[in-house]
Amino acid sequence: MSAGDVAALTGGRLEAIASRAIIDGPVVVDSRVCTAGSLFACVPGEHTDGHLYVTDAFRRGAVVALASHPVDVPSIVVDDTVRALGFLAGGVLRRTTGCRVIGVTGSSGKTSTKDLIAALVARAGSTVAAKASMNNEIGLPLTVLEVEESTQHLVLEYSARGIGHIEYLCRIARPAIAVVLNVGTAHLGEFGSREVVAAAKGELIEALPSDGLAVLCVDDPLVAAMRSRTSAPTVGFGRAPDADVRVEDLTLDESARPRFRLVTPDGSTPVAMQLTGAHQAINASAAAAVGLAVGMSVDEIGDVLSEVSAVSPHRMQVTTRGDGLIVLDDAYNANPESVRVALDALATVSAGRAGSSWAVLGEMRELGADGADLHAEVGRHAAGLGIDHLVVVGDDAQAIAVGARAVSDWDGDVEVVPSAEDATALLDDSATGSDVVLVKASNALSLWRIAEALLRHDRHVGATDEVGR
C-alpha cells in the first residue's frame, strides 16, 4: 500500500513522507523484527512505549512509523495507534475478495482449536492463522494484516476481558464462521459471573451475517443457548447425543492421547490424535465442524486431525528428556478448568510408569473474590487423582496446597516454593528419569521456564523424543 492509502484508512497525517511512498513490508509493533519496507506501529505498552524505538526500527528497514505524536522519522500521525491498527486491518480485509473469516472464542482451548482449524482448512485453500495467542486489539489486527489477495481462509482468536471487546474485534474482522468452545471461570474477576462471560463471548455469534455459521458446544448450556443470538444456521459439537458433530467411544492411550469416533451428518471416521489430553477431542470436534463447512470430507478431516502433532508452544507440549523424564509443558495459561484437564492428563501419562507424578502449579490470575476457593479446588483435584508430588509456586497460589492437604486419604506431599528457580532446583534434585512432570500456571508467571530448564540441563544431555506436543 502507499503511505497515502494508510493515512486515508487510519485518519492519519503524513509527516516527512510522500503520499505515493510504497510500504511493501510487514506491519510490526516490535522494532527488532522490522525488515525492509516495514510499517512500524508505535504501540504503548505496560512497561515501555513503541515511540522510543523508532530509530531502531528504521535502522532495521522500516520506511514509515504509525505514531500518536510527531517523531523524528517519516511517519503517519494518528490519534491512537492501537485504534489505527484496527482501522488499517479492517480496511485491508475489505479490499480482499473471497477471504472467509473463521473466528474462535471460549474461556479455554481457543489456541489449540484455532491451530486444529488452521491445519484443516489449509488443506482446502490458502490460509492465514493467528500465531500463538494473538487475539486482542493488537494481535488480531496484526494477523489480519498478513492476508493477501489469494488468502481464502483467515483463522482468528477473539479474546475478551469485558463486555464489548469481542464486538470491537468483530468490527475489524467480521466472522463468516464463529466457534464458541465454552464459558468457564477464566477472567471471572473482571467479568463477575459466568453469565456475563457468556454475554461477552456471544458477541462473536451476534456478529455473524445471516448466511454465516455458528459452531456451538452443546455440552455447555451457556454456549448452546447462544443459538438465540443469531439468525445464522447453527451446528452443535461435543459429546452430547444431540451434537451434530460429536465424539463417541473416547479413550486415552498411555500418553493421554485421545482416540475416538468422529460422528457427523456426512458419516463417521476414527481419529487417533497426537495431542495430549481428553479435552483435545472436543477441540477436534469443533474444528471438524468447520472443516465440513468449508467442503472437506469426513475421512479427510479424520486424517488431518490424526496427523497434527504440534500446536502453539507451551500448550500441553510433551517432551521426553534423554534420561526418560517426561515433561508436560502446559504453562502458557491457566484457569480452573484447564488445570483440571491438565492434571487428568498427568495422571494418565504417569499411570503406566514406575516413577512418580509431579504437578508444578502456580497462580491462576483474574479469578476475583472466589480465587482462593478455586485454587483450593484445584489442589483437591490433584490429591484426588493421587498425584505424588505437588509443587506450588508463589504465595498467591498457596490455597492449592491448602486444598490438597485437606484430602485426608491423600498420601502424596506438597511443598510451596517462592519462585520458578526454586521449583527448578527442587525438581532437578528430586525428579528422576522415570517420573512425569506437569508445569501449569497463568502466563504472566512464565513457569514454562521450569520446563525448559529441566529439558536443557547439561547432565541430562541426550536424544529427546517429542511425543504429541
Residue-wise pLDDT for 335-378, tens only, equals: 899 999 999 999 999 997 899 999 999 999 888 888 999 999 99
Give Cα 404 distance to the centre of its chain.
Answer: 28
145, 26 in Cβ contact below 8 A?
yes
Whether residue 448 is contained in a domain is answered as yes
Whether residues 187 and 49 share a domain: the answer is: no
Q: Are residues 342 and 427 in the same domain?
A: yes
**Same domain? 338 vs 365:** yes
CATH of the domain at 157: 3.40.1190.10
114: which 3 cell numbers? 484455532
Q: How many beta carbons lie within 10 A of that of residue 52, not counting itself?
A: 12
C-alpha cell at 368: 476475583
Domain boundary among the residues 79, 111, 146 is at 79
Could you tell me if residue 88 is inside a domain? no
Summarised one tens digit per residue, pLDDT across range 17-67 is 999 999 999 999 999 999 999 999 999 988 899 999 999 999 999 999 999
First to last CA, the chain: 39
Q: What gap in Å lies between CA 275 and CA 416, rounded to an integer?
A: 30
> Mean pLDDT of all residues in the chain?
93
Residue 50: CA atoms inside 13 Å, Cβ hemisphere, count? 26
Tell me if residue 315 falls in helix, strand or coil. Answer: coil
pLDDT more than 70, % of the chain: 96
Domain boundary among 251, 282, 307: 307
The reply to whether 250 and 377 lie within a common domain is no
Task: Please name the residue that has the C-alpha cell 469443533.
Answer: 286
Does residue 86 fall inside a structural domain? no
Q: What is the pLDDT of residue 246?
A: 98
In a domain, 186, yes or no: yes
Distances (CA, A) of 300 to 108, 128, 322: 26, 20, 35
CB-CB neighbours of 51 under 10 Å: 18
Cα(206)–Cα(201) distance, integer angstroms: 10
298 and 222 in one domain?
yes
Determine how β-strand 177-180 pairs with β-strand 100-105: parallel
Grid cell, residue 386, equals 493421587
Residues 291 and 326 in one domain: no
C-alpha to C-alpha distance for 221 and 205, rounded to whole angstroms: 15
Residue 440 within a domain: yes
End of a domain among 44, 79, 114?
79
Question: What would the mean pLDDT of 260-282 be, rounded to a whole number?
Answer: 96
Same domain, 264 and 362: no
In a domain, 222, yes or no: yes
- Predicted pLDDT at 370: 87
**Amino acid (one-letter) located at 147:** V
The CATH number given to whatever domain includes residue 43 is 3.40.1390.10
Residue pLDDT, tens place only, 181-211: 999 877 676 777 889 999 999 999 999 999 9
pLDDT score of 153 more than 50: yes
User: Model confidence over 392-414: pLDDT tens digits?
Assistant: 999 899 999 999 999 999 999 99
Query: What CATH number is given to the structural domain containing 434?
Result: 3.90.190.20
Which residue segment(s) compose the domain that 129 sits in? 96-307
pLDDT of 469 above 60: no
Query: How many CB atoms are closer than 10 A to CB 416?
Result: 17
CB 448 within 8 A of CB 331: yes
Q: Are residues 168 and 250 in the same domain?
A: yes
Q: How many domains does the chain have?
A: 3
The reply to whether 121 and 31 lie within a common domain is: no
**How far apart (Å, rounded) are the C-alpha atoms in residues 43 and 24?**
20
Q: What is the pLDDT of residue 314?
A: 85
Note whether 337 and 438 are same-domain residues: yes
Grid cell for residue 133:
495467542
- Decide if pLDDT at 129 tops 70: yes
Say if CB 128 and CB 153 are below 8 A apart: yes
Spacing of C-alpha 116 from chain mean position: 11
Beta bridge partners of 376: none
Cell representation of residue 201: 463471548
CA distance 147 to 52: 28
117 phi, psi to nearest 5 deg: -60, -45
The continuous run of DSSP H or E covering 142 comes out as helix 139-144
Residue 85 lies in a domain: no
| Residue 457 banded pLDDT, cuts 50, 70, 90 | low
pLDDT digits (tens, 9 = 90+) for 68-108: 999 999 999 999 999 999 999 999 999 998 899 999 999 98
**Do 453 and 349 fall into the same domain?**
yes
CA angle 290, 271, 325 (to 5 degrees): 115
Cα–Cα distance, 11 to 84 (Å, whole number): 8
Burial of 190 (C-beta count, 10 Å sphere; 0-12/13-18/19+): middle
**Rounded-to-integer distance, Cα 362 and Cα 385, Å:** 18
Q: What is the mean pLDDT of residues 316-328?
A: 93
Instruction: Give the list of residues 6+ apart from residue 448 with CB closer than 8 angstroms, or none.
Output: 313, 314, 329, 331, 332, 439
Assess whether 259 and 377 both reside in one domain: no
